[in-house]
Amino acid sequence: MFDIENIRAQFPILTQTVNGKPLVYLDNGATSQKPISVLDSWQKYYTEINANVHRGIHTLSQLATEEMEIARKKVQKFINAKNDFEVIFTKGTTEGLNLIAYSMTNFIKEDDEIIISYLEHHSNIVPWQLLCERTGAKLKVIPMDENGVLRLDFLENNLSEKTKIVSFNQVSNALGVINPIEKIIEITRKNSSALIVIDGAQSVPHFKIDVQKMDCDFFVFSGHKMYAPMGTGILYGKEEILRKIQPFHGGGEMIATCTFEKTTYADLPFKFEAGTPNVGGNIALGAAVDFMENIGHENIQKHENALLEYAQKKLLEIEGLKIYGEKAKRTGVVSFNLEGIGIASDVGMILDKLGIAVRTGHHCTQPIMEFFNIAGTVRASFAVYNTFDELDILAEGVRKAQKMLG
Ligand code: PMP
């Protein structure tokens, strides 16, 4: 049974007022709120366990290690990775993508090609540009049409033995467009031997992920968009590839032996986890996995699809409102502008006065904004605790903003 009141009761932050109005939190694409179970798990670690992992002989250190490894196993099951050592704790999606791009350096040479798409977040653009600068490889970009749908014919025509990496997001953070990942992977496998990287930052909060079924080589996401603390994230990589590529950060935890002449690396996953990890955060990420699984992926998706449909209907009743990617298959996001109002942040500021939290601007996707020839959009993004009443308040707020600014 999907019980929205029960779900909302688990998020104390949602009960507050902002600017004298009940908070309507619709900025979940930027970060989600955290349920009590996640907050408790984090607090329990710091009040009862706090000790460094892996190195300690004492009881608390062993307990911290055990709890963190339990969290790793929860994530393994959550994304259906074959082995727990294929699950690497990171700071988030950005670190995961930078890790892959850096660690692949020795496998990329001049004139090799890396393919990304027009729909990417800057964190799935810049690490590849840096890799190209280091190696002389070329970056190619799959274009999209006016609905924000990728032109897969372009992908097919540009894949070759030169293509070494293909990196896409599963869901666009700016438009909410769902990319046909299965098709992209099928086309890529058929036409190249490129490694496939999936940015799951905006899909993990909404979909059931199965990395084995998907057959990607890497899958990265952030904890903070799926009800876990900030500063947590996951890099999944296939064992054989993780064994081949070079470590990202050097330091403690990631060595087997270290002398001034030569260092050998620790086994997976520790080869990629240099330094003291975010133990409390990683354990709380495990609690966030439990939170989502207790509600159930099907229930989450059903509720969020209904929210999206309702938001779209209510907003499109407003004259002069344009939704970007309106005709594309989407999840979790409505990105829009009002005719004649060029500055999205003006709308955002009025909504804030009404207690409504949305994001305005380019959403770290400047190429998408350039494509539509706009500076930014107003983005309302949903989580499992949002309600239809909140979407009515949003639509009413947008009408008010239009009146005041028009
Ligand atoms: N990719 C996508 C699709 C995102 O939405 C985000 C966050 N907005 C990122 C990457 C970067 O995630 P983080 O800032 O948590 O590292």
Contacts of 392 (CB under 8 A, 6+ apart): 314
State which ligand 1 atom lies nearest to the alpha carbon of 93. Answer: 16
* pLDDT less than 70: residues of the chain: none
| Per-residue b or e along 160-186, where b marks 16 or more CB atoms closer than 10 Å to that residue's CB | eebbbbbbbbbbbbbbbbbbebeebbe
364 belongs to the catalytic site: yes
Q: How do residues 300-338 score in pLDDT, each as one tens digit?
A: 999 999 999 999 999 999 999 999 999 999 999 999 999
Q: Which residue among the candidates 132, 216, 258, 364 is catalytic per the annotation?
A: 364
- The architecture in CATH of the region 4-30+296-405 reads Alpha-Beta Complex (3.90)
pLDDT of residue 55: 75
State which ligand 1 atom lies nearest to the alpha carbon of 171. Answer: 3
Q: What ranges make up the beta strands (E) of 239-350?
A: 255-258, 263-265, 321-323, 333-338
The residues spanned by each domain of the chain are 4-30+296-405, 39-293
CATH code linked to domain 39-293 = 3.40.640.10
Short-list 357, 378, 305, 304, CA closest to 14: 357
pLDDT of residue 195: 98
Could you tell me the CA-to-CA distances from 158 to 116, 128, 130, 143, 154 in Å, in that order? 11, 17, 21, 12, 6
State which ligand 1 atom lies nearest to the alpha carbon of 123. Answer: 10
Which of 32, 91, 93 to probe ligand 1 with, by most ligand atoms within 8 A of CB? Answer: 93
Give CA–CA dist 346/351, Å, rounded: 9
Question: Which residues line ligand 1 at a C-beta cut-off of 6 Å?
Answer: 92-94, 121, 123-124, 169, 173, 199, 201-202, 222, 364
Q: How far does the chain reach from its first CA to its final CA, in angstroms?
A: 44
Q: Is the ipTM of this complex over 0.95?
A: yes
Instruction: Tell how far the Cα of 55 is from the centroid of ligand 1, in angstroms.
Output: 32
Instruction: Tell how far the Cα of 261 is from the centroid of ligand 1, in angstroms.
Output: 39
Instruction: Tell how far the Cα of 350 is from the centroid of ligand 1, in angstroms.
Output: 26
Which of 170, 171, 202, 227 to probe ligand 1 with, by most ligand atoms within 8 A of CB? Answer: 202
Instruction: Tell how far the Cα of 319 is from the centroid of ligand 1, in angstroms.
Output: 32
pLDDT of residue 124: 98
State which ligand 1 atom lies nearest to the alpha carbon of 120. Answer: 3
pLDDT of residue 274: 97
CA-nearest residue for atom 6, ligand 1, is 201
Instruction: Tell how far the Cα of 318 is from the centroid of ligand 1, in angstroms.
Output: 30
CA-nearest residue for atom 5, ligand 1, is 173
Could you tell me the CA-to-CA distances from 297 to 60, 200, 209, 285, 303 in Å, in that order? 34, 15, 10, 17, 10
State which ligand 1 atom lies nearest to the alpha carbon of 230. Answer: 15
What are the helix and strand counts (H, E) for the chain? 14, 17
Give CA–CA dist 406/394, Å, rounded: 18
Instruction: Tell how far the Cα of 121 is from the centroid of ligand 1, in angstroms.
Output: 7
CA-nearest residue for atom 14, ligand 1, is 94
